[in-house]
Structures are given as structure tokens and as C-alpha cells.
Amino acid sequence: MKLGFLGLGHLGRAITGRLADCDHTLTVWNRTPGKAEGLAVQEAASPAEVAGAADIIMICMFDSNAVRDVLTGDHGLLTADLKGKIIVDLTTNHFREVDDFHARCAQAGANYLEAPVLGSVVPASQGALTVLVSGDQAAYDKAQAVLQDVGKNIFYLGKAGLATKMKLINNLTLGSFMATIAEALALAEDVGIDKEEVLDILAVGGGNSLVLNAKRAKLLADDYSTHFSNALIYKDLHCLQDLANEQKKPLFTGAVVKELYAQTFGRGLDQEDFSAIYKLFKTRTN
């Protein structure tokens, strides 16, 4: 299938590589040229050029501001003929923005599917992400075969906005689990237990989780190369706080964890993997 892909960051590049391995024809664009090097793809000069070469166009950006630029900027997607095309947005957006993205694409004759993913670089390269989808049912049905090359688990939530809101809620657990594991590990080391033994015990005890399984090797090796950055989890938790505010619901755990990740900016850790929150707890204050 002829696919377009916009955004070749850590996650976008991994997904693009996976789609190329599945024998899709890909035309890609990234704000910074050259990120497609080593991939079996055709690099385009603009989002509009990608739209002209593809039937299904996937977007994977840092945030909603970047998605809006890709849609409405000079030579953006909305400057191209989008009639009959499907735009699949894998970005974790702000829930207030996606309604406008749905409307703008519909006005241009395209179908917009919000499809944020659960998982990071490693499962993305294996086609093992979880994909949450909201939008037109018929468009979802047409895009489903491509989504199955990206995700092992796909949940169609129907109504616009629900997929984005569920992704933000999921990241409450993601960020909280990581912070708790990191704090527990640092405290156990402080009382004299070996790091590997701590992780082995947590893995069969209260820390047993997908998060620990995914980050155990990183914690052991002190390898914080980015799969999913502190900046991204902080952004998502900020959006989640806005969602809780709109629902007039308190957000106890999420508020505390968001402020923990906020500290990574001051420490210069914001672009490292979100498992690097462990470094905050390893810093002795006494």
C-alpha cells in the first residue's frame, strides 16, 4: 500500500522501519531533513508532497502544536488535495485539539483518525504497539490492515476524543509506575541491597509490570538512551491534568508525578528516556 509518514523522531522512525519491512511503499517527511537515512523510503520536501504520493498518511509528532503546523503550515497537508484520503495521527495530542483536527480534515474531504499508541521504540520496531483509535468507522475499517502492521493490540473507541483521553489516562499509570519503581530501587540500594537483586525481587513482587520488564535492562546498565523521553511524559501528564480539571476531578497521583518529571528539565535530563527519573532519587540530599 502507498503510505505517507510525517515525523521521524525516535518512535516515528521505528514505526516507519516496521512498515517498510511489511512491504509498504513509503513517502516520508521530517522537519529536519536526513532522518530517513538507512530506511527503504522516499523522502519528500513537504507534507503536501507526501499527501500527493499516498492514500493513507500517518503523523507522529511531539505534540499538538507540531501536528497543527503539519496540517496548516506552508505546504502543509491541508494545502494538498486530500479528497478520499485517510490521515492517521499517532501523536499523543491534547484532547482539546483533536476535535479541530477532525473538523479541518473533514472540510478538506479527508478522514482523520486519532490513533495514539501505547509502547515505545522496541515494540514499535516489532509491530507490537497497542493502538487506540477514534474516528469514522469506515475509515478505520480501511486503515485497519495498516494498523495491524503497527500494533499487536488495537482498540477502536469510536467517538472523537476518546482515544486521546484514554492514552493520557494510560500514561498516568505509565509515569506513576516508573517513578515508583525508580524510588523503590534507589531506596533499596541505599539500605545496601544490590541493584540487580532489587530488580529481581520487584519483578516477582509488587513491582511486577510491563514498565519494569521494559526498563529493567536500562536501569541495570544505566543506559538512558531515549525510547520515550522525560519531556514527552511530562507533556502528557500536563494534558492529563487539564483533562482532570475539565472533568472537575482531583488528580492526586498524576499531579505529584508530573512535578517529579518537571525536575528533569532543571537537571538536563528532559531528553533522556523517562526511566532516567531514577537519577533524581539516586541523588542524596543528606
Q: How high is the pLDDT of residue 286? A: 45
- In the chain, what percentage of residues exceed pLDDT 90? 97
Question: Going from the N-terminus, what domains does the chain have, and what CATH number goes with each?
Answer: 2-159 (3.40.50.720), 165-282 (1.10.1040.10)
> What predicted TM-score, i.e. pTM, was given to this entire model?
0.94
Q: Is the pLDDT of residue 48 over 70?
A: yes
Q: Is the pLDDT of residue 285 over 80?
A: no
Q: How high is the pLDDT of residue 81? A: 97
Q: Is the pLDDT of residue 67 over 60?
A: yes
Q: Is the pLDDT of residue 74 over 80?
A: yes
Model confidence band, residue 157 (pLDDT cutoffs 50, 70, 90):
very high
Q: What mean pLDDT value characterizes the chain?
A: 96
Q: Is the pLDDT of residue 116 over 80?
A: yes
Over the chain, what HEC string results?
Answer: CEEEEECCCHHHHHHHHHHHHCCCEEEEECCCCCCCCCCCCEECCCHHHHHHHCCEEEECCCCHHHHHHHHHCCCCHHHCCCCCCEEEECCCCCHHHHHHHHHHHHHCCCEEEECCEECCHHHHHHCCEEEEEECCHHHHHHHHHHHHHHEEEEEEEECCCHHHHHHHHHHHHHHHHHHHHHHHHHHHHHCCCCHHHHHHHHHHCCCCCHHHHHHHHHHHHCCCCCCCEHHHHHHHHHHHHHHHHHCCCCCHHHHHHHHHHHHHHHCCCCCCEHHHHHHHHHCCCC
